[in-house]
Every structure is written in C-alpha cells, then in structure tokens.
C-alpha cells in the first residue's frame, strides 16, 4: 500500500513539474571548480521542462567528478508562475594530491612509487600528474587528462612513461634477471555517453629494451633485445555504483582490450584482454564489503616475457614484486572494510582480506589453473586512514600472509583503496 501511494505521489509530482520551466540554473558551494564548467557539464539547460530524472542523473554524475566529494540539488520558485530555479550544490574535494605506493616482502625486496597529481586544473577537472619510481632502477612518468575538452562528453588524454625495472624471466634451465626498460607515448580519445558508461580508445607507441643481468641462460632466449611496438587500446567502463563519500554500493565493470604489433619476431604480435568485475555492498552504517574478480586472457605464446604478472602492487598483497608470469589469469580479491573512528573529516578504517589467483603458463593450457605451483592465496589485514574532503585521500597499509606452497609474506603501502 505504501509503495502504491509513493508511486502516485511521484507521478503527481512529475506531472506538475512537466508543466514547469527552468528559468535559471545556479551553482553553489564551489570555490575551486569553475561555475561555467559545472553549467556546461550538467545536462539540464535554462528553458528546459523541469525534470527530476534529469536532475538526479546530473547529481549522480557530478558526484563522480574528482573535484566533488558530494552533490545535491534544490528547486526554488522563480519570479514568474510555473518557472523554477534549479540549484546544484557542491561539496568540494581538495584535489592537489601527493601519492605513494611502497611494497616489500620477506625476500628483502623493496620498491616504491611517489608522485603528485592535480585533479582539477583550471577548475575544469583536468588531471595533470607526474611520478618517480624506484624498483631496483629509476623510472619517471607524466600524464594529462582532459576528459571534457570538446564537450561535456568528449575529451583526450596523453601519457608518457620511461619505466625501468629488474624483471625475472622464467626459463626451463632456471630463472634469469633482466633489466627491462619501456619508454612509451600514449594518446587516447575519451567518450562518456552518460554517467554510467565510458569509452577510451587510442594508440601507444613504445620501445622495449631487455638487457640480461644474471642467472640462467638459454640459447633460444636473447640476452639483449630492443623492440619497437605499436599498441591499439580499447577500454570500456560501466559504473553502476552509488557513492556516499568513501562508501560504495553496487556493481562496476572495467574492460581492457589491447592488440600489440611488434617489429621483431623474437617478440611477436599478440593480443591481451582482461575484465575487472567489482561488487560493493554497504553493511550497516560502518561496514563495506568489496570484491573484485579479474579474468584475463592473452595470446598463448611460449615466451618468458608473458604479459600477466603476479605482483604485490597489482593483484596479490604480500606475494612479492613480479614473481611469476602467465598468458591467462584468474584473480579474486575480497575484503571487508569497517570504520573504527569517524570524525567530520577523518576516518580510521580496518580491513581484512583474502587475495587469491592462478595463472596459465606461457604455451600451456587451461589445466595450469589447477596446478598448485601456479596457485597463490594470501589472507591478510590492514588499516585505512581516510580524509573525507581530499580526493582519493586513502592511505592504506596491508600485510599479506601466504598460505600456499613456497609462499612469502609482505607489507604493501599505497594511496587509494587497493581496488
């Protein structure tokens, strides 16, 4: 009965609003975000028929902006009958954010990445970023993302990276270490048809440089290799989440498809695709259950340079830095976050998790997923220090403990939730 009365009320309100006109749109609460940007970003326009559904979608889309921690709306009567003023209210994030990822294992491995990002450059939600990484060797990167350059749906992005790491290469005769360098230039076109769907497509021009350092050798595996490559990329993101500050509820899916053309037969052309399925559930007023399932598949080339890595900072907390590679992957991360302390701006959150996954060996078959040597399971626990008015201001510490064969344990530090 109550649902029926609510439906009748909603229909009556919608009918009465359908006779009304938006005479003015105002923005309030914004200090760093450009008012003109917000007016262009929302779908509602002056002269439109007043529509609660359009306004609700605008608010949901505003909340997804890096510069906005929360948004709401008000509808006020105008000076003329049947004309109304719509006010979009914004609670802003601080958007000049340093970030850091630090990860170790009990094998005395140590690596980190530090950087600085501005998510609201010029007040128009333009992202500029730079980072420095140490992982045995030194690396740097620069990025620019202008998602609404041409309209409130169309933009561009550019990324430059010069990454150098020490990579394990797994040969039949044993393990070798290579100095791996990847210098890349990436150009992307960004399209956002509505607040739940986003597409990115573009090209990445990069050069890979492998230099043998130490360990096992194989006459069929070169000790020096420099290859130029061209990568075609397509990303699709579905975001059906409900956001309430740092709490998430609902389903999200991230699809990444790539095809790589190579200038060398030693590293032939290949394709790779993976999808992250994420589900979040509010539990009471303080709990948040989060789960991510990654399914990945690539060309099954028998090469020691396979694309899917088992790594602390990517998929399994505590496992170590790039300890294995494969041509297919199944990874499940599940954790329960619980707010221990919450103030106006600060939250201390506890976290218990289980990370698990398995990989297909290069040139192997799907039966490799059941091989105990490929299976990794790492339960663990951690803490989150959250600032509610700074975008992505989640400082995390996690400790993962391996329970499968030949496991390690280790600490992973980072900015932002793990997923």
pLDDT above 50 (res 15): no
**β strands within 124-173, DSSP E:** 126-135, 137-146, 154-171
DSSP, residue by residue, 324-381: EEESEEEEEEEEEEEEEEE-SSEEEEEEEEEEEEEEEPTT--GGGGG-TTT-EEEEEE
CATH architecture designation of domain 96-415: Beta Barrel (2.40)
Report how far residue 168's alpha carbon sits from residue 186's, in angstroms, rounded to the nearest whole number: 26
Q: Nearest 5 degrees, angle CA 51-CA 52-CA 55?
A: 90
The CATH architecture assigned to 2-92 reads Roll (3.10)
| CA of residue 291 relative to chain centroid, distance | 14
What is the reported pLDDT for 11? 46
Domain ranges for the chain, please list them: 2-92, 96-415
Neighbours of 121 (CB within 10 A): 16
Euclidean distance between the first and the last CA atom of the chain, given in angstroms as a whole number: 41
291-60-255 Cα angle (round to 5) = 45
pLDDT tens per residue, range 238-282:
999 999 889 999 999 999 999 999 998 878 899 999 999 999 999
Q: Residue 40 and residue 266: Cα distance in Å, rounded?
A: 50
| Concatenated DSSP letters of 218-247 | -TTS-SEEEEEEEEEEEEEEEE-PEEETTE
Interior/surface letters 343-365, b for 16+ CB within 10 angstroms, e for the rest: eeeebebbbebbbbbbbbbbebe
Residue 408 has pLDDT above 80, yes or no: yes
pLDDT per position as a tens digit, 384-403:
999 988 888 899 999 999 99
Please give the Cα distance from 38 to 32 (Å, whole number): 11
| Listed range (76-85, 155-164, 194-203, 350-359) with the worst mean pLDDT | 76-85
């Amino acid at each position: 009965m109550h649902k029926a009365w609510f439906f009748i009320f909603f229909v009556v309100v919608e009918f009465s609003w359908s006779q009304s006109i938006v005479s003015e749109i105002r923005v309030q609460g914004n200090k760093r975000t450009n008012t003109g940007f917000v007016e262009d970003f929302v779908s509602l326009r002056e002269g439109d028929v007043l529509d609660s559904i359009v306004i609700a979608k605008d608010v949901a889309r505003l909340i997804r902006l890096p510069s906005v921690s929360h948004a709401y709306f008000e509808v006020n009567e105008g000076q003329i009958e049947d004309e109304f003023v719509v006010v979009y209210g914004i609670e802003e994030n601080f958007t000049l954010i340093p970030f850091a990822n630090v990860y170790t294992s009990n094998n005395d491995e140590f690596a980190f990445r530090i950087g600085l990002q501005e998510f609201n450059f010029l007040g128009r939600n333009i992202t500029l970023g730079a980072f420095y990484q140490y992982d045995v060797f030194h690396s740097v990167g620069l990025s620019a993302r202008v998602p609404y350059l041409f309209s409130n749906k169309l933009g561009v992005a550019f990324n430059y990276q010069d990454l150098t790491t020490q990579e394990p290469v797994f040969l039949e005769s044993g393990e070798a270490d290579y100095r791996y360098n990847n210098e890349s230039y990436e150009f992307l076109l960004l399209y956002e048809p509505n607040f739940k769907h986003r597409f990115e497509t573009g090209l990445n021009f990069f050069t890979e440089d492998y230099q043998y350092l130490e360990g096992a050798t194989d006459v069929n595996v070169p000790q020096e290799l420099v290859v130029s490559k061209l990568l075609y990329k397509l990303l699709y993101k579905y975001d059906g989440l409900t956001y309430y500050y740092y709490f998430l509820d609902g389903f999200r899916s991230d699809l990444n498809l790539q095809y790589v053309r190579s200038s060398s037969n030693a590293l032939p052309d290949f394709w790779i695709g993976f999808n992250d399925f994420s589900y979040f559930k509010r539990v009471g007023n303080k709990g948040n259950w989060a789960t991510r399932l990654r399914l990945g598949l690539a060309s099954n080339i028998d090469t020691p340079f396979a694309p899917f890595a088992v790594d602390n900072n990517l998929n399994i907390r505590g496992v170590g830095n790039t300890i294995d590679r494969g041509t297919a992957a199944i990874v499940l991360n599940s954790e329960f976050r619980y707010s221990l302390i919450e103030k106006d701006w600060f939250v201390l959150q506890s976290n218990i998790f289980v990370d698990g996954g398995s990989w297909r060996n290069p040139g192997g078959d799907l039966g490799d997923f059941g091989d105990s040597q490929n299976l990794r399971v790492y339960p663990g626990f951690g803490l989150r220090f959250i600032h509610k008015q700074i975008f992505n201001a989640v400082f995390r510490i996690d400790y993962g403990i391996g329970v499968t064969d030949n496991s390690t344990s280790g600490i992973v530090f980072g900015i932002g939730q793990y997923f």
